[in-house]
Structure 1
Amino acid sequence: MTKQLKLSALVAALLVSASAFAAKPGYVADQSTEAVTRNNYGECWHTTYFDKAKDGLVECGDREAAKPVVVKDTPKPVMVSVKEKVTLSAKVLFDFNKNNLRPDAKNELDPLVAKLKAHAGQGHLNGVEIDGYTDFLGSDKLNNALSQKRADAVKAYFENAGVPAEKITAVGKGKAEAKMTEECKAKFPRYVKNKKQNAEIKACIESDRRVEVVIDAVKESVVEKPAAN
C-alpha cells in the first residue's frame, strides 16, 4: 500500500513538472501563475530543452523586445493658389506694329483657352492677367497704346472662346520691361540710318515684343510636416 502511494505521488509530481515546463517552453514556470521561476540572482531557470532562438523570452533577457512601428501621419492635400506665367511671342500673335491677331495665333492661344476653361469649370480660376509689351522703338505714347491694344485683343479672344470675362484683366506695359535694348543698340549703333540694320535690330529685340499671360489658379498640393528633432 505504501509503495502504491509513493508511486502515485511520483506520477503527480511528474505531471506538475511537465505542466510547469509547458507553460513557458524551455523554462521552469509556476503552474498556477505561469510566471517563470527564478533563482536567487533573479535569473530565469532554463530546462535542458531550452532553445534560445525558439523559446527565448524578452522578460528573461533572452530575446530583444520588438521595436514599436512608427506610423507616419499621412499628409493631407490642401488647396493652394499658384501663379503660372506663359510668355507668347508677339511675332506669332501679331504682325509688326499691328494689334490684330494673326490666323496662326489660335495655335498658341487655344491650349491656354482649354486650360483656363478647365480651371474655371472646377471653380479653381482666381484670375488671369494679360500683359502686353513692346520693344523700345517708337514713342512711349505709341508703345503704351499698342501694348494695350494687343493685350485687349488676346483678352477678347479668351472671352469669345468661353473664358469668364470677369476673371480676365488686360494691361499694356509698353516698353517698360524691354530687356534687349542696350544689347541690341550696342550691336547695331547706326540702325536709324541704315535700312538693313534697322531690320536686323528689329529681329534682335524681337523677344521684347511679347504678351505674357499670368494664370492665378487654385491647385491641390500636399504639405509635408517638418520632421521632429
Structure 2
Amino acid sequence: MTKMLKLSALAAALMVSASAYAVKPGYLTDQATDNVVRNNYGECWRTGTFDKAQHGLVECGDRAPVAPVAEAPKPVLVAVKEKVTLSAKVLFDFDKATLRADAKNELDPLVARLKGDANLRGVEVAGHTDFFGTEKYNQALSERRANAVRNYFVANGVPAEKVTAVGKGESETQLTQQCQAQKLKRTALKACVEGDRRVEVTIDTSKESVVQQPAK
C-alpha cells in the first residue's frame, strides 16, 4: 500500500511539474500566480528544455523589449487657396466684357474641377484692367468681366452661393511702370501691359494632408 501511495504522489508531482512548464515554456512557473520561479539571486529558473530563441522572456532578460509601433500618420483636411490667372485677351475682345466663343476652352476645365471638388469652400473671380482709360471706367469694366466669368461658372453647374465676383480695376497692375519706362508708343505700350488685363480665379478648398503625430 505504501509503495502505491509513493507512486501516486510521484505521478502527481510529475503532472504538477509538467503543467508548470507548459505555462511559460522553458521556465519553471508558480502555478498559483503563473509567474516564473526565481532563485535566491532573483534569476529566472530555466528548465532543461529552455531555448532562448524560442522561449526567451523580456522579464528574464532573455529577449529585448519590443519597440512600440509608431502610429501611422493620420490624414486631415487642410485649407488651401490656389490662384489661376486667365488672360483677358483670351476671354474677351479688347475693351469688351462679353465672353468670346473660344473662352469656353479656358473655362470648361475650371468648371469641371470646381464641380468635382467635394471640399470646395468658395471661388472668387477678380477682374483686372490695364491703366488705359479713367480709373472709374476701368473699375466698371473689371466688374463686368468678373461677373461674366462668374455667370459662366454658375450657368454650368458651380453652386452660385460659392462663387463671388469682384472688380479690381487698375489697382493691381503689375507691368505699368516697367512698360512706361521703355517709352513705347501707344500701340506697343498696350501690347506690353497685356498681362495686366486678366481675370484671377482664387479657389478656396480643403485637401487631405498627412500630419505626423508627435512622439510620445
Alignment TM-score, normalising by the size of structure 1: 0.70
Give the letter for the 1:138 counterpart.
Answer: G
Q: CA deviation at 1:135?
A: 1.1
Cα distance in 1 between the residues matched to 2:148 and 2:31: 93
2:172 aligned with 1:177 = yes
Distance 1:45 1:18, change over 3 A: farther
Matches of residues 140-179 of structure 1 in structure 2 within 5 Å? 140-179=135-174
Q: Could you tell me whether the CA contact under 8 Å between 2:58 and 2:65 is conserved in 1? A: no
Q: Which runs of 5+ in 1 are unaligned?
A: none
2:192 aligned with 1:224 = no
Among 160, 175, 187, the residue aligned to 1:199: 187
Cα distance in 2 between the residues matched to 1:173 and 1:91: 17
SS in 1 for 2:169: coil
Q: CA deviation at 1:175?
A: 0.9
Give the aligned partner of residue 43 of structure 1. 43
Matches of residues 49-88 of structure 1 in structure 2 within 5 Å? 49-59=49-59, 61-64=60-63, 66-67=65-66, 69-70=68-69, 72=71, 75=74, 77-78=76-77, 82-88=80-86
Q: Could you tell me whether the CA contact under 8 Å between 1:20 and 1:34 is conserved in 2? A: no
Q: Percent same amino acid among aligned pairs?
A: 53
Distance 1:52 1:206, change over 3 A: same
* Aligned-pair Cα RMSD in Å: 3.7
SS in 2 for 1:132: strand
Larger Rg: 1
Q: Could you tell me whether the CA contact under 8 Å between 2:56 and 2:63 is conserved in 1? A: no
Q: Could you tell me whether the CA contact under 8 Å between 2:80 and 2:207 is conserved in 1? A: no
Deviations 1:157-192 (A, max 9, x none): 334334444443322211101011111112x21x3x
